[in-house]
Amino acid sequence: MSNIIDKVFEHSTRIIAFSVLLIVAWIFTVLFQNSLDSMQAFGFDFITDTKWAPNLEKFGALPAIMGSVISTFLAMVLAVPVAIGVAIFLSEIAPEKLKSPIGVSIELLAAIPSVIYGMWGLFYFVPIIRDIFGGLGIGMLTAGIVLAIMILPFMAAVTRDAMDTTPDILKESAYALGGTKWDVIKDIIIPYAKAGIIGSMILALGRAIGETMAVTFVMGNVHKISLAITAPATSIPVTLANEFTEADTELYFSSLFELSFILLLISFTIISIAKFYFLRKTRRA
Amino acid sequence: MATIINIPHEKALEVKDFQFTYNGTTEPSLKEISMPIAKNSITALIGPSGCGKTTLLRSFNRMHDLYPGNRYEGLIEFKGRNILEPKEDLIQLRTCIGMIFQKPTAFPMSIYDNVAYGLRLQGIKNRSELNDRVEKALQDAAIWKEVSSRLKHDANGLSGGQQQRLCIARAIAVEPEVLLFDEPTSALDPISTQGIEKLVIELKEKVSIIIVTHNMQQAARVSDYTGFMYLGELIELGITEELFVTPKERLTEEYITGKFG
Ligand SMILES: Nc1ncnc2c1ncn2[C@@H]1O[C@H](COP(=O)(O)OP(=O)(O)O)[C@@H](O)[C@H]1O
Ligand SMILES: [Mg+2]
């Protein structure tokens, strides 16, 4: 009897596992098929063209791609140093009594739905940016800052976890040679945890680049490449969120699908690099 | 109660009425320990697991200070001062009193950088001085021949025995006066163990050595003096041959004849 239950269990879990793979393949196929019209109409120009004019049936994705890349880059530049600082504090400097409450608060922050970061950004951040830089207060810079704040808790928590895997005996060996706390952090802990740290940064990057709700309100949805990071701009997910309901022609619809296909490819690549290259080692530990 | 011999040697360290209590415990883990540590000699600490050997060893370089709430009482004299004083400069102390751990602890860097690490911490930047001292340390640790052609390789590519000798090279590169070994061969095969034991004996020309071991044969093979510890107390300290052949304390005798442990 228990044998039969085991068999049933084994088979059903296998079916569930395979259906996950199937869903991934299915999503890829759907996105690809729906992109075909746009791919045939624009070819490679779709990625390099800067003009996005639905009324002229002209679709160039470069502003959206650039917007995604630049806002994510800004977010990383702002978030990485702070996340490393927070992680160092949590793993090496904070007194034992503080480690756990601060650590838990950071994990809670990481669980806040991104739409809340978006609303908070719109109502509290946009006015600040407007006061400082003038203009509308929406654009790449605001999006970058909101994204940075959004990915920071995750990054800090995972970086701390990676640092915590450094064996005590290794740290003690450096102290035993006359190292200071700072020496041990920079020479032992960071190099030891490097792969895990970089991996978590890349995972955060993957999350930032695909983020929709946190930036939809603060980006502007303007398909224009501007030298000023304070000018309204757009990104791939922002375009998708704003324009699917307006897509009144086949080609418009298909172009949006091609955008989403590009986004999927970017995210997939980033997450694969993080998982299979950098996080391989820490997994084992 | 305890039998502690007077050593004819010059002393490297002297422990007096030393007590140690771990954070969160009320009972001290080391009680009223007094013992001399002879200069340029090897002192072995033996005793059953949990008797406090590691705890005592880690007091000599104040390793317990890395974790909050641990408490020292009494004196450990080193070069005319009590190193248990709060004002003791621990960075400076640890460059004078080095430590080798139970498991090899090669840092995640090259072989060269591992050995140069302590020197660089002391601010030595001169390339040729670093080269000379790294080579000398590796030679003194009897591993130069094996690694001289691959100094830039990752130290984690070495075998366990080689890594442990690398750690010894790293510790002696800064020219300490005392070296603390905490069961340095417990993770090694017999051949590597032999190599480390031979090396430890050679090193006493330059440094004073305290070695913790749960292996009595090892203590008998390498040490000049042996201390037997039991339940946080030092029961007997004597010249190694005498302690193993004619122990003064009944507990020591029972332990070395295998009646418990
Ligand atoms: N970090 C610690 N906190 C509290 N007690 C400890 C700690 N480390 C060791 N002890 C206790 O101190 C005693 C001596 O341990 P230890 O010095 O490791 O013994 P040995 O090295 O001789 O095996 C043991 O009873 C052990 O349980
Ligand atoms: Mg021990």
Which of B63, B107, B167 is closest, CB to CB, to A188? Answer: B107
How much of chain B exceeds pLDDT 90, in percent? 94
Q: Whose CA is nearest to atom 26 of ligand 1?
A: B50
Tally of structural domains, chain B? 1
pLDDT of residue A283: 42
Helices marked H in A43-125 — which ranges?
45-48, 62-88, 96-110, 114-120
Number of H helices, E strands in chain A: 14, 2
In B110-139, the residues whose Cβ lies within 8 Å of chain A are 117-118, 121-122
| B38 CA: distance to closest CA in chain A (Å) | 22
* All structural domains of chain A: 2-284 (1.10.3720.10)
Q: What is the pTM of this model?
A: 0.86
Structural contact between residues B162 and B144, judged by C-beta atoms closer than 8 angstroms: no
Contact B63 A169 (CB under 8 A): no
Helical pair A140-164 and A62-88, crossing angle rounded to 10 deg? 40
* A-chain residues near B95 (CB < 8 A): 177-178
Would residue B160 count as lying in a domain?
Answer: no
Q: Which of A281, A188, A57, A172 is nearest to B102 (CA)?
A: A172
CB atoms within 10 A of CB B148: 12
The partner residues of A52 in beta bridges, in order of sequence, read: A59
Strands B81-82 and B71-78: antiparallel
Mutate which of A173, A185, A187, A198 to test chain B, going by most B C-beta atoms within 10 A? A173
What's the token pair of residue B238?
């004597």
Q: Which of B70, B65, B68 is nearest to B88 (CA)?
A: B65
Which residues in chain B land under pLDDT 50? none
Phi/psi of residue A222, nearest 5 degrees: -115, 120
Would residue B154 count as lying in a domain?
Answer: no
What's the token pair of residue B73?
């009482």
Would residue B158 count as lying in a domain?
Answer: no
Torsion of CA A159, A160, A161, A165, to 10 degrees: 100
Which of B68, B103, B109 is closest, CB to CB, to A169? Answer: B103
Output the CA torsion sign for A67, A208, A23, A116: negative
Within an 8 Å CB–CB cutoff, is residue B154 touching chain A?
no
Structural contact between residues A168 and A156, judged by C-beta atoms closer than 8 angstroms: no
Which residues in chain A land under pLDDT 70? 1, 281-285
CA distance B219 to B244: 10
* Closest ligand 1 atom, residue B53 Cα: 22
Would residue B153 count as lying in a domain?
Answer: no
End-to-end CA distance of chain A: 38
CATH number at residue B227: 3.40.50.300
pLDDT in tens, A213-228: 889 889 988 999 888 8
Count of alpha carbons within 13 angstroms of residue B85, beta-carbon side? 10
Within an 8 Å CB–CB cutoff, is residue A96 touching chain B?
yes
CA distance A60 to B108: 47
Structural contact between residues B214 and B183, judged by C-beta atoms closer than 8 angstroms: yes
Q: Which of B180, B189, B166 is nearest to B110 (CA)?
A: B166
CA distance A159 to A163: 6
* Closest ligand 1 atom, residue B183 Cα: 21
* B-chain residues near A176 (CB < 8 A): 61, 63, 94, 98-99, 101, 171
Pocket lining: B53 vs ligand 1, CB cutoff 6 Å: yes
* A-chain residues near B117 (CB < 8 A): 174, 177, 187
pLDDT in tens, A233-243: 999 999 999 99
Which of A95, A173, A188 is closest, CB to CB, to B101? Answer: A173
Residue with tokens 């040697």: B9
CA distance A42 to A49: 9
Contact A173 B121 (CB under 8 A): no
Chain A residue whose CA is closest to B116? A177
What's the token pair of residue A123?
């109502």
Would residue B84 count as lying in a domain?
Answer: yes
What is the ipTM metric for this complex? 0.95
CB atoms within 10 A of CB A220: 25
Structural contact between residues A259 and A242, judged by C-beta atoms closer than 8 angstroms: no
CA distance B255 to B261: 6
* Closest ligand 1 atom, residue B58 Cα: 17
Strand order in the sheet with B225-230: B3-4, B233-239, B225-230, B42-46, B208-212, B178-182, B97-100
Pocket lining: B157 vs ligand 1, CB cutoff 6 Å: no
Query: The domain containing residue B80 runs over which residues?
Result: 3-105+176-256
Would residue B211 count as lying in a domain?
Answer: yes
Would residue B95 count as lying in a domain?
Answer: yes
Residue with tokens 């530990």: A285
Structural contact between residues A253 and A247, judged by C-beta atoms closer than 8 angstroms: yes
- Contacts made by residues B246-252, CB under 8 angstroms, sequence distance 24+: B248/B3, B249/B2, B249/B3, B252/B228
Map residue A90 onto helix, strand or coil. helix
Contact B92 A180 (CB under 8 A): no
Output the CA torsion sign for B8, B12, B14, B19: negative
Contact A169 B102 (CB under 8 A): yes
Structural contact between residues A50 and A124, judged by C-beta atoms closer than 8 angstroms: no
pLDDT of residue A281: 58
Chain A residue whose CA is closest to B59? A176
Q: What is the DSSP letter of B81?
A: E
Contact A178 B99 (CB under 8 A): no
Q: Which of A167, A149, A141 is nearest to A207 (CA)?
A: A149
Distance B182 CA to ligand 2 centre (A): 7
Q: Cα–Cα distances in Å, from B52 out to B44, B155, B182, B242?
A: 13, 32, 12, 23
What ranges make up the beta strands (E) of A9-63?
Answer: 52-53, 58-59
Q: Whose CA is nearest to atom 20 of ligand 1?
A: B50
If residue B161 lies in a helix (H) or strand (E), which one and from where to where? helix B160-173
* A-chain residues near B92 (CB < 8 A): 178
Chain A residue whose CA is closest to B170? A177
> Could you tell me which residues come within 8 angstroms of residue A42 by beta carbon, excluding any fewer than 6 positions away?
A49, A59, A60, A255
